[in-house]
Structure 1
């Protein structure tokens, strides 16, 4: 076997070992050998290398019924570190994560007046990031993962179209790289894809046999992430999953995308809030506005009931279309809509049952997200970690 092939195999073995540690650590060398099916001598050699690189640390002794107690190994929680960024229409969240994708700290800033000028926005983002990080933390950053509400090209970091943010063909990855060293890896993906990635690795609703799943993200806009055979599906041009811009009414209202009658215009949380308050909601914070909507509903307010009834109906229509197109085992609903999901869940499921053409409703689960927010940020962290551990596979 050629040396080049041997080197490639060793790198694959290292990634497999890191993945095993990511999922099962702390763990002994013997258990790693059993999990990865690699020889004990190979595990020992790889561990020595990973410890020297600072990626793995020895934690101490584990339990053993007989004989010598094994030394437990785990991922280093201090090196390397990763930045996750979640760019929403009104706010940007920034968080610091370790190699196990555990969050260490978080901050946010309002970006409402900056998105029309992407260069100024990136300048503000970088300044906030520098103020957020200590020098020691910055020096340990390996990669940055970014979540964006819109169509993105995962391969080059360009935001192709984010209508609710007013962005079109914005080279976000290139713009961010200007502020960092050349070896800093910056990965960008849309929010729904990353929410689904978070559900896969850190959520509680996906089952081991869920090889096909859809995450429906309902925020200011509506988008979806698709997983097929356990892997994210982005499509040929990175535009897969834009169900929010499928037409459900030929004569419907104009959408930010330029089309008319898009699902997003009927089922976004902005439409829900506008319907509840006749477009005159005084509360500008979306989560607070949805919380007020929920309170009004529970008090029997007729407008709140009608607004949530319409939301359930159109979400049901959209989800039925998704099921007919993708045939997933589960549809996960998340985003800001989680604030009121418990009020409309049964109504959404009933609407889906009415509209499924072929498939029996019982064969697909429709559930709320495991997360009460921040799923995009969690997914962005896991995306960044994928530069070291194959978390996208």
Structure 2
């Protein structure tokens, strides 16, 4: 269910945007409109939906429009044309045309924001900074104290509660900003490049902490970043922007495997696929695997064949004329404990683990869902092509690299 929906949103930074909007309709580009009118197009014809509990990452280079689009959600930027619906208590509120009272209500009850520069008040303590928004909401003192204590513990800053911001590191200050937003108890969290000013190690640690918090809290998060690795790590879906336009809005693995155009392709060219791709996106689907005499070929070099039932459940595997035992694997089982035999893995198995399993067991992987249905096969050819950045939407050709064994 979508909780935020943009419909053809244009943002012109002007009190009278009509001249720029007219030129947009005539097909003029952003630089041409700036030259002709002096008006800046922040966002052009943006349409996307964000579902409840997702982390949507808006990313692109500086000036791409990502922060401009984010700030429309809480009304910090005015929508010049189009609709922007935010679900609240079963009804859709159009932020582009809502009343001032409705916008104030959304800012204080529904939407919270974490800023890039922390935006902490230096004269207040950590506890007072977190409590500030609750005071604005008119919460009773006892309730404020309880909420502040809960959020301090959640972000690991309980012992720093009485410190001033200048006594904290940059990473700790950012956690105070996050705690302040969480204390508002808003379902929607806006994060405008919150980690970009931090050192790489602190940044990675906060990314991990955010993912841990999200597993517990299940907020709907809109996160702005200019770092593709960060976007791929955090995003349920990613909107890549250029010149105010959304070029592609997809799941991380779809962006890596099927870039929409050369701009996106250049973005993902140096991405580490180990951190993004999973068994389901890498495998050759069962229907495209070599099939002969009611058996599917797992590995021709090892003369390894698999039989599945009419319901596509694994019946048995043979190596030559001998039955071959099959072992299951899931992320709770150490890879080092696997025997050198065919292995069934879940569809969400990441590529890093898949490579290690292939190396440790010496056999291709059988991708199988929770119901026991065989979805496909993941072997050397699929893994090599992913590492080399080749298009994985085409069937794996029969070539020598397919026959190469790590055994």
From the CA coordinates, give the structure whose radius of gyration is larger.
2
Fold in common (TM above 0.5): no
TM-score normalised according to structure 2 size: 0.26
Give the TM-score of the pair, scaled to structure 1.
0.26
> Higher helix fraction: Structure 1 or Structure 2?
1
